[in-house]
Amino acid sequence: MGNGTGIDALTGPLIVSVGVGLCIVAVIVYAWRDFTARGRVIAELARTNADFKQRLAERTIERDEAARDEALAELARTNAELKQRLAERTIERDDVARHEALVELSRTNMAQEYLKREIEREHRASAAFQEAALPSRTPVVPGMQFRAIYQAAKAEALVGGDWYDAFRLDDGRVVLSIGDVMGSGLLAAVTMGAVRQALRGAAQILAEPVEILDAVDRTLRSEQPDRIVTAFVGILDPITLTLTYASAGHPPPLLRSANGEITALGGSGLPLGLRSIQTYSSETPQTITLDDSALIVLYTDGLIEATRDIDVGETRMRQALQSADVWNAENPAAAISDHVLEEVRDDVAILTIRIECASVAVTRPAGALQRDARWSFAVQDRHAATEARDGIVRVLSEYGATETDTSISELVFSELLGNVVRHAGDHVEFALDMSGEAPVLHALDRGPGFTYSARLPMDILSQSGRGLFIVRALTHDLNVTRRHDGGSHARAVLAFAIRARRPESRSQPPAPPLVDLVTIPIFARS
């Protein structure tokens, strides 16, 4: 038991030592083998790297050249294809653009044609309206010649709002008006027509130009508050040869006398549509007595603004008016236009009135030169009053008045004379105007002047106001205005028409008086 154990003890370490030695040998062997293999691997790797590098260099050069050739070929093909496609797209784009341009041009042409038709339609409507609104004829007054011209602007497609007008009232006075509506086109033409008609209507009721303009201003502001209109209104009285006028911001008309002197008929009033903001007192109408021979020219601003310089236009205007060609022209309005205008830039309206006192015969029908239907006398001169009454009856009878007509005319004469006796001084002038459609009996005095009321006085037995009320009841119309140089002017429009003239009978004595014109009141007759 003991020996075995000792051998075993010796054998164990020996075996361990041998094992360790074998391991060391194995390690050495493996290490040597790895070193050798590593050397071979490294050498092989070196050879492979060198070969690879050589082959890589050769393949890179080859690849670069081939790639370059392929790239150039591809680029050539791409460029050719791109050029082809670009050409095709350009043609396609040009076709599309051309089509779109043609469509747009067609739309533009259609729009232009539509606009042109609309402008032409509005122009025709405006022109037709304006033609209808302007007077178709001028008054016929013995010894007075009315001429007018209207020219539309050639550079504008639309008609403007210029107008002129001249018409005779029933009492024989002639109302003159001219004006310009700001703006152009159909609306301006419509406004022009409305203002012109409003002026006509106001003149039938109101006696003074300022009152007429104020009334039309109120009408315009109520109907078209955004419109502004310049206007001039004058009232020409053939019996007294006076012109009473007022302006609403309009260029002043010119008056030319026989000796060449020119007077501007200006005013200070604001245009229609603005007169409500006038802070100062309303202007007073001005009155001028006309010479034996004179020429009045009313115009719109297109006449003097054609050169774009008003001073130059006004100078040309005065030069034209002083020329013999205009003074002696059959149509002074057209002659002035020819002298002043080189080009019609704006609408132009011109109205001229020629006065020739040598042939003024408003107390007889047109064409007659006699002025024998006037009577002037002291109111206390009964014989002169009777002659005046008989003369009036005789003239009326010559022109178809019936006995009833002449009887009424005598009553009117009597009441007008009685009114002068009571209120207007010691002298009176009567005139019988036979130049209109109805006879007009005028009574002019130099007294302090008086007013007329169409109403009967509260006291029917009062001597004041009753006579004129009777006259108004017996006549077609009656109005009384104050004369600018003192006194009053009564106009009684008799209520029958002038008929064909009958041959004057020399053998027939004048009709006996119905009343004593001065001393016997009208109501004293049985």
pLDDT tens, position by position, 67-100: 777 777 777 787 777 777 767 766 666 777 778 8
Place of tokens 């003097």: 304
Helix axes 2-133, 186-205, angle to 10 degrees: 40
**pTM score of the predicted model:** 0.71
pLDDT of residue 343: 75
Under 8 Å between Cβ of 235 and 245: yes
Quick: pLDDT tens for 347-405.
899 999 999 876 666 665 444 445 458 899 999 999 999 999 999 999 999 888 999 99
- Which structural domains are found in the chain, ordered by start? 1-130 (no CATH), 134-359 (3.60.40.10), 374-524 (3.30.565.10)
pLDDT of residue 261: 94
Q: What are phi and psi of 342, to 5 degrees?
A: -95, -35
DSSP label at residue 253 = P
The rounded distance, in Å, linking the Cα atoms of 177 and 166 is: 6
Q: What are phi and psi of 78, to 5 degrees?
A: -60, -45
Higher-confidence residue of 165 and 187: namely 165
Instruction: Work out the percent of the chain whose per-residue pLDDT is above 70.
Output: 71
pLDDT of residue 406: 95
Question: Is the pLDDT confidence value at 2 over 50?
Answer: no
